[in-house]
Structure 1
Amino acid sequence: MACSSYKNKTVQLIKCFCGCSDMTISEVRRIYTLSNSVHETLLDPEATRLLQKFMETRRSGDKNEAEQYLEIYEKCAEFLAEHQRTFTQDEVDELVDMGLPYDLEQDLSRRMLSADRTDINRGLYRIQGKCRNEIEASSDFRDFRDAIADKMRRVPK
């Protein structure tokens, strides 16, 4: 009988930017709140995925800088999560292939040679900070926030 209480409830859904999925109104509100901060947005996997999809839908041709910085940010997060793995030049090269700026490459390479995981992690966090700042400064993130705000205006009160 407990399930019968859900029979008459409807869930309102809003289309994702790419049309791939529907979002509940509470999810739109949650992401709208997160979108006030690039940092908070990037810490939330669903909000990050939505930002990524938003940038993809606007792309014509190669990835722009903001997309590259988002990819680098996420790759650094993967490396930071791998505590047991040895960090090598291959990982640095992978970030370089994604568009890591030269000064950050040099800094990370120096840290990698020290083989001190704490120092390497500081370098990865430094890269994430640079990426976060670049994403925040991009018109892509401002447009993303505006698009979320526009979705919020369509949400019934």
Structure 2
Amino acid sequence: MASCSYKEKVVRLVKCFCGCSDMTVEEVHRIYTLTNSVHETLLDAEATKLLRTFMKLRRSGDKNEAEQHLEIYEKCAEFLKEAQRTFTQDEVDELCDLGLPYDSEQDLSKRMLGGQRSDISLGLYRIQGKCRNEIEASSDFRDFRDAIRDKMRLVPK
């Protein structure tokens, strides 16, 4: 029988906001670093998921504007990934159902009627930029960053 030697490795875990999963200290640090930029946070699936959970747990009742902007941002990202799919009024309506502002709806509808995928993509990126700015301006994102920082303070050095 061959002998195996295992190095013991201690993994320190920190509770997620929802309390349902544990994050490594390194993951908390990584996400905290991402929160220096809303853009970087939204490009990272785990950080975005954590932000969404954080906002959901804080609300009572309907979604606030920051949550709506996050959903619109993510839906635009989903549409941008589907480059081969024809963009129709159904997709515009789907964004409207999430709370897309009227001016953005009108702009995107015009682009959709033009039928140029590159123009539609530019419209989706523009909407994402507006959503990103709104999320950054919200107290939700600042509170999220502060909550991550507070989690890091609880970890023994």
Smaller-chain TM-score bracket: over 0.9
Other-structure match for 2:121: 121
Pair 1:122–1:3, CA change in 2 (3 A): farther
Question: Normalising by structure 1, what TM-score?
Answer: 0.96
Paired amino acid for 1:123: G
Other-structure match for 2:9: 9
Other-structure match for 1:20: 20
Paired amino acid for 1:135: I
Pair 1:3–1:125, CA change in 2 (3 A): farther
Q: Secondary structure of the residue that 2:27 maps to in structure 1?
A: helix
Other-structure match for 1:155: 155
Distance 1:102 1:133 in 2: 17
Pair 1:57–1:117, CA change in 2 (3 A): same
Other-structure match for 2:77: 77
Q: Secondary structure of the residue that 2:78 maps to in structure 1?
A: helix
Q: Secondary structure of the residue that 2:6 maps to in structure 1?
A: helix
Distance 2:4 2:144 in 1: 40
Paired amino acid for 2:6: S
Other-structure match for 1:133: 133
1:155 is displaced (CA, Å) by 2.0
Paired amino acid for 1:15: K
Distance 1:128 1:2 in 2: 52
Structure 1 unpaired stretches of 5+: none
Question: Normalising by structure 2, what TM-score?
Answer: 0.96
User: Would you say 1:104 and 2:130 are equivalent positions?
Assistant: no
Alignment of 1:13-92 (within 5 A): 13-92=13-92
Structure 2 unpaired stretches of 5+: none
1:10 is displaced (CA, Å) by 1.6
Q: Secondary structure of the residue that 1:129 maps to in structure 2?
A: helix
Over residues 35-67 of structure 1, what are the superposed CA-to-partner deviations in whole Å (9 max), with x where a residue is unaligned?
Answer: 111000000000000000000100100000000
Q: Secondary structure of the residue that 1:4 maps to in structure 2?
A: coil
Count of matched residue pairs = 155
Paired amino acid for 1:38: V
Q: Secondary structure of the residue that 2:109 maps to in structure 1?
A: helix
Distance 1:137 1:33 in 2: 18
1:9 is displaced (CA, Å) by 1.7
Over residues 109-129 of structure 1, what are the superposed CA-to-partner deviations in whole Å (9 max), with x where a residue is unaligned?
Answer: 000000000000000000000
Query: Alpha carbon RMSD of aligned pairs, Å?
Result: 1.0
Distance 1:113 1:59 in 2: 37
Distance 1:59 1:38 in 2: 20
Paired amino acid for 2:150: D
Which 4+ runs in 1 deviate beyond 6 A? none
1:3 is displaced (CA, Å) by 5.7
